[in-house]
Copies of this chain bind each other. A is one copy, B any other.
Amino acid sequence: VGAKSERMSNLSPFQELKQKADQIWTLKEVSSLLGWDQQTLMPDGSADGRANHLAVLDKTCHELLTRDSFAQALSQAENSSPDEQQQCYLRYVRRAYNRAAKMPSQLVDELSRATSAAHIAWVSAKTNDDFKSFCPHLERIYDLKKQEAEAVGFTEHPYDALLDEYEPDMKTKEVGDVFAALQPKLSALVAELTASPKQPSDRPMRQHFPIEGQKVVSHWMLEAIGFDFNCGRLDVSAHPFCSSSSSRDVRLTDRYDENFLAPAVFGALHEGGHGLYEQGSPVEFNGTPLRGGCSLGIHESQSRLWENFVGRGLPFWQANYRKLQSIFPEQLSGYDLPVFYGSINQVRPSLIRVEADEVTYTLHVILRFELEKALLTREVDVKDLPEIWRSKMTQYLGVTPPNDRQGVLQDIHWSAGYVGYFPTYSLGNLVAAMLWERILKDIPDTEEQLRKGNTAPVLAWLRSNIHQHASLYCPTALLDRLGMKLEAQPFMNYLNNKFRPLYGLSE
């Protein structure tokens, strides 16, 4: 012990703090791996044991983060004239420390108990289409989330404190203003597309595609966009996801529907986009708080960019459709590229968010964002949710849920205590459009390269402008470095340019 203390005293205040913080964030990496295992290949009987493993890791991280010696080391490091990158590191750690230190452990316990109970109630309420039985649980959760916002602190809107957990430094007003301006434009486009006499068919995608062939396609899609299988894997799970425990261990999953090819192809491209972001995090950030993506919204911008802007684009399939036909000749040889392209770009207002296309998706999110804000400030009562949900769906998308199962009860998020999470999905779409517009400007032959099957220039641009910064900057600061500010116009331009011609509308 003597030798160790001696060595440690030679460390700078920043290094002292870094040693303590890296320990915590390395344990968080371990949790990621356990979570992956749990959702892919853990034996069914192991659920309780795994829950205990995750809880103990969580508790250990919390203890290490909130002990006095950590707070002291953090303050000393902050006062030791850190350089620019060290300042980024300390900002990240300070944010996590403050959040952990400000949350009363009683509130953490109550949230944990309330969400456990709410999850069970939600499953049953959804099964029985019985919103009333879920009401008291949802009221309790919003009550506790309000307390959380007050404990964590905010200056403008209590929702800021919740949004901040997923989208650091992002403000409710900024998101709200962008969403409010976007919604009518988006609803108008949806109405026009829906009313058009020209409607692409999704028939080519809805045939029998043997799973083994689909797995070949998933793997190939990931190779096509540059995913490194030496530092990653692809497995199967009920819901596709990306999980990483280091930039050199990034694990994706995909799912396979025998009678529908789209989930496998676009699941792979979506998770692959997340995976490329994680693989692009600098190796020296592994095992530190700076590793990996900086927010859920920026992460989603990467997945959406590869899934939609590249992967549902005509140039990408000009390069790849022939090979897809050769893997599924029986199913696809009768459909030429324009028909296939239409089939992967169908727009159809629907009741269920997770099944929505790239035009209607954001309207589902805007609706949820508005309701979350209003529930938190009690402008809306939980009991009135179903009615408001129905009327907003009708107004925004032109469809009305016949029941609450397909309405307010469809998402798991609120029962799990995730309030402030939904907007990040759409921030991803908006940011992806902003980045895509810039990529097309910075690399004028992007489409030509994609037509040749060369996705490398797009990846290189993302590597140097987004990925290499990992978690050094908050989303707003990251965009600011590119001279950008969150806005919806690039997204609307992209949608109009892509979908109006597809649906035979004037541009």
Q: Which residues of A contact B (CB under 8 A)?
A: 1-4, 22-23, 26-27, 29-30, 33-34, 37, 41-46, 48-50, 52-53, 56-57, 59-60, 64, 66, 104-106, 109, 228-233, 245-249, 286-287
Contact = CB atoms under 8 A, between A and B. Distances in A.
Contact of A49 (B57, B64, B245): B245
Contacts of A57: 27, 30
Contact of A245 (B2, B29, B53): B53
A474 to B, nearest CB: 25
B249 A50 contact: yes
Contact of A231 (B46, B233, B246, B248): B46
B105 A43 contact: no
B53 A29 contact: yes
28 contacts: A2-B105, A2-B106, A3-B105, A3-B106, A22-B56, A23-B56, A27-B56, A27-B57, A29-B49, A30-B30, A30-B56, A33-B34, A37-B37, A42-B249, A43-B230, A43-B232, A45-B228, A45-B230, A45-B249, A46-B245, A46-B246, A46-B248, A48-B246, A49-B247, A49-B249, A49-B286, A52-B286, A53-B245
Contacts of A249: 42-43, 45-46, 49-50
A287 B50 CA distance: 10
A53 B28 CA distance: 10
A255 to B, nearest CB: 19
B41 A233 contact: yes
A84 B4 CA distance: 38
Nearest to A250: B43
B105 A48 contact: no
Given A4-B105, A43-B249, A49-B245, 15 more contacts: A2-B106, A3-B105, A3-B109, A29-B49, A30-B30, A30-B53, A37-B37, A43-B229, A45-B231, A46-B231, A46-B249, A48-B248, A49-B246, A50-B246, A52-B246
- Chain A interface, DSSP helix/strand/loop, else mixed: helix
Contact of A60 (B2, B27, B50): B27
Q: Copy number of this protein in the oligomer?
A: 2
Nearest to A48: B248
A59 B30 CA distance: 14
- Most interface-central of A49, A104, A245 (chain B CB within 10 A): A49
A26 B56 contact: yes
Contacts of A50: 246, 249
Contacts of A233: 41, 43
Contacts of A41: 233
A257 to B, nearest CB: 25
A174 to B, nearest CB: 34
A52 B33 contact: no
A76 B239 CA distance: 49
Contacts of A64: 60
Nearest to A231: B45
A4 B2 CA distance: 33
Contacts of A245: 46, 49, 53
Contacts of A230: 43-45
A110 to B, nearest CB: 10
A505 B72 CA distance: 77
Nearest to A25: B56
B30 A248 contact: no
A43 B3 contact: no
Given A3-B109, A37-B33, A245-B49, A23 B59 contact: yes
A501 to B, nearest CB: 42
A26 B45 contact: no
A1 B102 CA distance: 10
B106 A43 contact: no
Contacts of A59: 23
